[in-house]
Amino acid sequence: MSSVSKGHTCEALVLMCIDFRFRENVQENLKAKGIKSYDIMAFPGASLGLSSDSNPAQKPLLNAITISKNLHNIQRVVIVDHEDCGAYGGSSNFVSLDEEKAEHREKMILAARAVKAEVDLPIETWLARLDGTLEAL
């Protein structure tokens, strides 16, 4: 029996940026962290789409998370931003890595709040680093 026909449940929904540079490392890190089955959504800037009611992407993203919960019984939401994100203006837009991380952390807090208001699930926020690691924010 293929994994597709075994059931319609998965552990998590992962929202990450569309940036191809991080896809493989994020997937490897998810496996290493024990997350083997997950729905994946890609959106430029990941947390940016959820961080403001005025962003027209927020409602469709929240709707997709709700659908994932209802159809696949996800148990958590994982939001993965990354260093040098063009949607944030790239690393050169910040004075330091600490400033860049602080901006991501701020947007992730807002995004997590929006998700929590929509679906009552645990939320993890990570920053994918250029060295291939994931850092909890």
Is residue 5 scored above 60 in pLDDT? no
CATH number for the region 12-136 comes to: 3.40.1050.10
Q: Cα–Cα distance between 100 and 123 in angstroms, integer? A: 21
Q: What is the pLDDT of residues 57-104, one digit of tens each?
A: 999 999 999 999 999 999 999 999 999 999 999 999 999 999 999 999
Q: What is the pLDDT of residues 20-45, one digit of tens each?
A: 999 999 999 999 999 999 999 999 99
Give pLDDT, residue 1: 39
3-state secondary structure the chain: CCCCCCCCCCCEEEEECCCHHHHHHHHHHHHHCCCCCEEEEECCCHHHHCCCCCCCCHHHHHHHHHHHHHHHCCCEEEEEEECCCHHHCCHHHCCCHHHHHHHHHHHHHHHHHHHHHHCCCCEEEEEECCCCCEEEC
